Each structure stands twice: as structure tokens, then as C-alpha cells.
Amino acid sequence: MGNKLMDMKDARFTIYDQLKIEELFAYEKFSEYTKEMVDMAIETAEKLAVNDYYPLNPVGDKTGVHFDNGKAIVPPEFHAAYKKFCDGGWTAPAESYELGGQQMPTILNYLTQMLFFAANQSLMVYTCLTHSAGKVVETFGTDEQKAKYLEPIWNGTWGGCMDLTEPEAGSDVGNIRTKAIPRDDGTFLIKGNKMFISQGESDLTENLIHILLARIEGDPEGTKGLSCFIVPKYRVNKDGSMGALNDVVCTGIEHKMGMKGSATASLAYGDNNDCIGELIGGRGKGIITMFHMMNEQRIVVGMEGIAMGSTAYLHALNFARERKQGVAFGQRTGAQVSIIEHPDVRRNLLVSKAYTEGIRALLLYAAKCIDMQEITSDEAAKQNYSDLVEILTPICKSGGTDRGFDACITAIQIFGGYGYCQEYYVEQVARDCKITSIYEGTNGIQANDLLGRKISMKKGAAFQALINEIQASVAAAKKDSGLSPYAADLEKYLKQFIKITDLLRTRQSENGFLAYSWATPYLAIAEDLAVAWMLLDQSVVASAKLKTGGADADFLTSKINTAKFFISSILPQVTGRLDAIEKNDDTFLKLEDKYFID
């Protein structure tokens, strides 16, 4: 077996054969890239992930982050690995050459990030949040702010974090109470409290840049009154040098189920009336500014979830091949066989394989859409790619995290009693993975976003863009006699999904409470259809290569059979959800609070 983090053969097939990354090299932005450069980047990332990040994951889990007099002390071993990561240019590889990046295609950047997430989620959180903080400064900052903050953020000398959640607000950001008081010099005095702030405090970097939501005194209640601020741990002088310690105090760190190597802080701002922040993005534009960071993080979190699902699946696959127990199916006596020979174990592995490969492909497809949106000069195409990214974001976030966690739990099941013990790696990965379905808007919020906003945005244009892409893959598969029946099945479910979507859009105006009770099942249907689409699309490519004598017939056959298995054995499960939503039974409305017995 390979690295036990990601099936690299499948990953390369996805970016080269299915998504055709080399097409990007015809555009000026990526004209310096070649297949050899892509291979080198993947190999370098894999080496760092396997040799430096992966061995430290159990170390971080055991050591954890320690709180000492307002400071969060990360596992000491993290520092050297983080420095290697920064020195290798992995902090912002997709940024332009002018900004110190490698101008790497997003699709390649996402693939390498998934390797690092699979190797050590706790350590990678510090980096991915730093990148998102940098994008806010790059996109919305003034020239002075960019000059002060961007270079040390992009090279990893300084960290970054996103400060939203408050004790009384939670996901209700409109209820945020942290306030900003204007000062004579144009800066603001920040006063308030935040909690659950990943990398809200740590000793991993020299400085820490908080991107914070607060309400300027006198501005209206709700989300429209919020503004965004840069609040550095150490104040930054105009020449970029670090100044005095700002009045941002870490009051404690969270003791979590998993992700123990990641510092999650509670913070107090301005207890001494000396927390200084800079407005970024415009007064009252806080939600627009912050959502630029959050939308990137939602796709990133989807990558985190499926990356951990990937490593859990590969560990389980390795165990199932090595663990011998029982005799061959149908036999009463004989030599013990590897447990992968037992039907239930093999089915569990196939389910994890299908979801892992399908959702990873979906995330990389979204990444290519991001690339194409930026480089194409065709305005209609640019809008279409933008619409696809919009509607795929909640599907990628929820699908990556829920199915990633499922793969972790399935891995524990395959390990049996061993999997429940801390001595075995999959126990930690499951604990680490669970938070991803809660990060950056719970998956229930993603379901509401898909149903309430994305399917209706631009009069349904984004939804139709996704349907068009799936239908194109179905049409291509129908031309292959071996795949045509499976394409027809996907087409059948897709038509039912379109019908249900129209029904739900109508019902939102009739009884919104009941309509939104179907949001999560609706999102689950979308996820399964998206996975079936990606696997079918891959099978078309694999079938064509196989017919022309493509190398590695076993791998290509596996791709075809994985698609067939998913569409014939897993996808039919959407029928129950589709039928339930269509029936729209209103018993849900009758189950009032009093019927929940204490």
C-alpha cells in the first residue's frame, strides 16, 4: 500500500485524466506550469506530509495544547514541521508571483492541501486560517494595510484567525455584541468577548492577525450593522515592524473531543480599554467582508473532512488485508482468510472508497471552476463557473465532512474492538474529524443555504448550471454500452430531484417551517447525486482508456466498477428521501415542544 493518506493513483487520475489540469497551462496565468512541475509539487507535498506532518498527529493528540498565563503553547514538535512547511512555500502557493506565491492552480493547491489535512489536521488548521485571513487583507485592505500585513501572513511568519463566535450569539452572527468605538486617529477601540476561535492564541507564529466582526457604536442591530476589523496580537507599525502587545487576552482554551493539537481559544478584547483595531472592508460591510473568508473556509473544511475520511479508509483497507479471521465464505473449515474476503467488510470498504473518491473529485472539480472563473475571458463562461462554485459550496462542505466522518466510523467498525482503542490510529481520526461538520456553519446551516438561497439565486441559474453539467456527463456515459444503464439510472434520479426542487421552492412560500424541515434530507440527496455524477464521469474516462489499451487495467476497471456499485447499490437510497419530501407529511408540525418528554 502507498502512503495511507490518499490514494495517489486515484488523485492523479482525477486531476490529469478526468479534470484535465493541463488545459489550464494554455492560459497566461499558468503558462509556466508543466506536467513535470505538477508531479514535482505533488511528490514534494506527499514527502512532507508523510515524513513530517503524519508522525506528529498522534503526538499532538497526546501532548495537546497547554494554557499558561494567557498563552496557548502548541506541541513543541509542531514548530519544526511548520517551519519546513513555510520554507517550502506551502503557506500561499496559489497566490501570484508578485505576492510571493507560486501562482499554482487552485486544483493543484487543493490536492496538496488534502494530503496535509489527511496527515495532520490539527497542525494544518493554523495554516489554512492564516491563508483566509490573508485573502481578506488582499481583497479588502487599504494599500497601507496590505503593505503592513500581507508579506508576513503569506510567508507564515504571522498567523491569522477568524473571530466570529460569541457566547450568546453562536451561529446567530446578527446578535454579535462585541463593539468598536471610533478613536480620533481613525482606528477603533474594540471591546467584547469571543469563543471557539481556532488559533485565537498560539506560540506557533511571531504575531497573530485577528479578523474580527464587531458593531461600531451607533450602528443598527442585526447583520447590517456589523463591520470587520484587523486586530493584531502585537500592534504593527507603519513600517511593518511589530509594536506593543495589543489588549487581546486569551482567557482559556477549549478542552475538545479531538483536534487536541489545535488551539481553540476564548478571547477578551479591551478589558484595559486598550485593544486597537483597524476597519477593513468598509463600515457596515462586515458580513460581506467576513463571508469572503468564510466561503473559502467552507470548501476548505469539506477538504478537511474527506481528507480524514480518506486516511481512515486506507488504514482500514490495510488492516482488512492483513487481519486474518474466519474461513472463506460458505466454508466450515479451512485456513483463515483476510477479513476483506468477508462480504460485510468488503461492502463497508467499497462504500468508503466510493464516497472518498467521489467527493475528492467533486472538491477538485470545484477548484478547477475557481481557476476557470479567474482565467477565462468569456464573461458568460465566467459567470457559469461562479454559479457552479456557489451552488457546490454547501454540497462540498457538508458532503466532505459528513461522508468523511462516516468513513472514519466505518474504519473503526472494520478494525473491530481494536478500532475503539487509542492505540489504533482510526480512533483519533474519528474524533478529529467530527468537528468539521460543525465548523464554518453547521451542516444544517449548509442545508438551509442550499434550499433557501442557492437553488433560487439568479432565478435558478446556479441550480441549472449544476444540472447542465450532470446531464452532460450522463449523455457522454449513455454512448458507452457498458455504462448506459447506469447513466439512465442517474438520469432518472436527477429528474426526480429537479421535480422535488421545484416543489420545495413553491412550498417555501406556503409553509416555510415545514419546507425547511426537509432541508437536510434534500442536501443529502444532492450530495449523493453529485458523488454519482463524479464517479460516472470518471468511469467514462476510464472506459475509454481501457478500450485503447490504457495502462493499469486493474485500476481502470476498479474506477468503472466503483461507479457501477455506487449507482446501483447506494444511490437508490435517495428514493426514500425523495418520496418522503414529495409526500410532505405534516406530522412534523404537530410535534410541539410539549411532546418531547423529559
Catalytically annotated residues: 440
Grid coordinates representing 167 are 457566547
CA dihedral for 17, 21, 25, 28, sign (positive or negative): positive
Cβ-contact 100, 92 below 8 angstroms = yes
User: Would you say how long the chain is, in residues?
Assistant: 598
Cα torsion at 29, 34, 6, 547 (round to 10°)?
A: 120
The DSSP bridge partners found for residue 384 are none
CA dihedral for 492, 494, 500, 503, sign (positive or negative): negative
The DSSP bridge partners found for residue 215 are 179, 226
DSSP line for 528-553: HHHHHHHHHHHHHHHHHHHHTT-S-H
From the number of C-beta atoms within 10 Å of its C-beta (0-12, 13-18, 19+), residue 16 rates as middle
Name the residue among 574, 565, 579, 566 with its Cα closest to residue 493: 574
- Residue that the C-alpha cell 498560539 belongs to: 202
Grid coordinates representing 499 are 421535480
Cβ-contact 75, 64 below 8 angstroms = yes
DSSP line for 408-461: HHHHHHHHGGGGGSTTSHHHHHHHHHHGGGTTTS-HHHHHHHIIIIITTHHHHH
The continuous run of DSSP H or E covering 244 comes out as strand 242-245
Cβ-contact 290, 162 below 8 angstroms = yes
Separation of alpha carbons 466 and 388, rounded Å: 6
Name the residue among 72, 43, 67, 54 with its Cα closest to residue 123: 54
> How far from 248 is each of 185, 189, 212, 573, CA to CA, in Å?
20, 11, 12, 50
From the number of C-beta atoms within 10 Å of its C-beta (0-12, 13-18, 19+), residue 409 rates as middle
158-163 and 207-216 strand pairing = parallel
Grid coordinates representing 61 are 493528540
Q: What's the angle, vertex CA 128, arms to CA 419 and CA 15, rounded to 5? A: 80
